[in-house]
Chains A and B, each alone.
Chain A
Amino acid sequence: MASVKSRPSPAKTPSVSADERSHEVDHPSSPLARFGADQPLKLDCGLDLSPFQIAYQTYGKLNADRSNAILVCHALTGDQHVANVHPVTGKPGWWETMVGPGRPLDTNHYFIICSNVIGGCMGSTGPASINSLTGKVWGLDFPIITIPDMVRAQAMLLDRLGIETLFCVVGGSMGGMQALQWTAAYPERVFSALAIACSTRHSAQNIAFHELGRQAVMADPDWHGGRYADLGSHPHRGLAVARMAAHITYLSDAALHRKFGRRMQDRELPTFSFDADFQVESYLRYQGSSFVERFDANSYLYLTRAMDYFDIAADHDGVLAEAFREIKTRFCVVSFTSDWLFPTSESRALVHALNASSARVSFAEIETDRGHDAFLLDVPEFFDISRAFLQSAGKARGLNNGS
């Protein structure tokens, strides 16, 4: 999430207390679905996770036919607070440009659900949660989770909410991966899918960036082999560096140049030191330090790992088209010209596979210099196509959604 604010500050210690963050982990302000010993989450790694809980938010009203539900899947460092004030940071929801009355995901017409992914740290069970067996924070004892595991947990949530079929599953980046996994795993439960700035597999370059971030976290002495919660610390320096590196990949050369160029931060001349002389440095430090206020370091390790393991084709003998054979779901795939994390070529590969499986797919590449983060920003062409897709899909589903 690229806010343009740049503050003159070195990487600071968190201003939000660790208590505030950890309280949301086990006792979120969001509604909770709890799953007991009788309903374990069957994980790809072979283990059963039980008990576990899913924290979620909803917006709008479910219609009488239960046919207007849209599941929004959040990205790596997102959460369920799509369109409400965030309980930890006090900032607006991360997708208020997209979700709300009159927005493309119009809450006057659709019932929007967003749940914190399994492995997250905003109320769904993850490495920062208390392990009920030990009474201590899970830490690295938490099993490795995958994108399919996240989707399996979401499916259990929908069962709990009494929603058999989704009108649409929507997501960008890691959220797009979940959306695609939904169509591959539960094609009959998904009427339409809007997959944005994503891919059916994580590329070597992206795995490399994630490894860089994880190593930054693990290199922080405050990480303590993942047991920092028991010791009352948090590897905020390592996590901030991980976030800074990742944040660069969410932008583009052109966007950075346009926003910051070589401009100095509150000074005319270089200080001949390693202070944040340049605005771009100051901006990155701010991104790093604000991130650690709301995010758990181990959760970051687990979720980046889940993305690394994602490869839909690998689950279908290496043939991507097999994953979507005979699928009835209507797809809309969107990419952005300056996104080098999930470049258009990845979306095209998906579209070719969908074409080969005779799926009903639309695809558009949006011209923008704002990089991967474009899906979170005010990009009118992107809103237009999202709105058009949902309205026409709504018509096909018999929804009265203003189409």
Chain B
Amino acid sequence: MSVQEALPLNGAAASSPGRHRGDHLLVAGLIEPGSKVLDVGCGDGDLLQLLESRGIDGRGIELSREGVNRCVAKGLAVVQGDADTDLVNYPDDAFDYVILSQTLQATRQPKAVLENLLRIGRRAIVTFPNFGFWKMRLQLLIGGHMPRTENLPATWYDTPNIHFCTIKDFVQLCDEIGVKMERSWALDIYGRPLRLKLPWWFWNMFGEQGVFLLSRAGKYR
């Protein structure tokens, strides 16, 4: 799943410092140099390139051949594959971090994908668009139609995003499968973290994206 396909983050790109997207900079900041990282749904490889520039050993999976081709041209090690079907083939503990950036909502089995992320990687970083964002709610409540935003412009019948969730939904899923949330952020429409220490319901209402750093807990321990 290319990021472009799943979720064009134009707003985030426009406001981020330098040429990197805000959410990419946030994710890159979480990873220590020398780590081994798998980016699932790596698109054109922008995040992987940022990671490699910081001394991180990055690998990618990408659904579209065009995306794979552009990644290979950048010297990145990317294989054509599908998060739903191909993650099972990676061995346990193969990576320090597995990243799923703006792709979870486009998978057929988000729960199985999430479980695989934390089997393959010691930690996972998941970012996704928050369907509980106030603009979404308003469109459904007032407009009476499926929400469409600048960052999620597709109509209900042609969107690749088939499993939308809210930040609250995602937290519940993590609890259910025994995943530990080490850190989390809600980003505004420009991809900047909401800095205020606020309760969950506020994030769920005003966060345009959720970003979670996860590790194994419960049954994974």
Contacts and interface: CB of A to CB of B under 8 A. Distances in A.
A389 interface: yes
B16 interface: no
Contacts of B202: none
Give the interface SS of chain A, mostly helix, strand, loop or mixed: helix
A330 B77 contact: yes
Interface in B4-41: 36
Interface stretch (B65-73, B134-142, B161-169, B179-187): B65-73
B68 A385 contact: yes
Interface in B63-104: 65, 68-69, 71-81, 86, 89-91, 94
Contacts of B86: 348
Contact of A392 (B65, B72, B89, B91): B72
Contacts of A27: none
A366 B65 contact: yes
A388 B77 contact: no
Contacts of B75: 392-393, 395-396
Interface string A350-382: 011001101011111111000000000000010
A365 B80 contact: yes
Instruction: Give the interface residue-count category, chain B.
Output: 20 to 34
Contact of B72 (A351, A364, A365): A364
Contacts of A351: 79
B36 to A, nearest CB: 8
Nearest to B74: A392
21 contacts: A352-B90, A355-B91, A356-B91, A356-B94, A358-B36, A360-B59, A360-B77, A362-B76, A362-B79, A363-B79, A363-B80, A364-B72, A364-B79, A365-B80, A366-B65, A388-B73, A391-B73, A392-B73, A392-B76, A395-B75, A396-B75
Interface of B: 36, 59, 65, 68-69, 71-81, 86, 89-91, 94
Given A356-B91, A381-B65, A389-B72, 8 more contacts: A332-B72, A352-B89, A361-B79, A362-B77, A362-B79, A365-B65, A391-B73, A393-B75
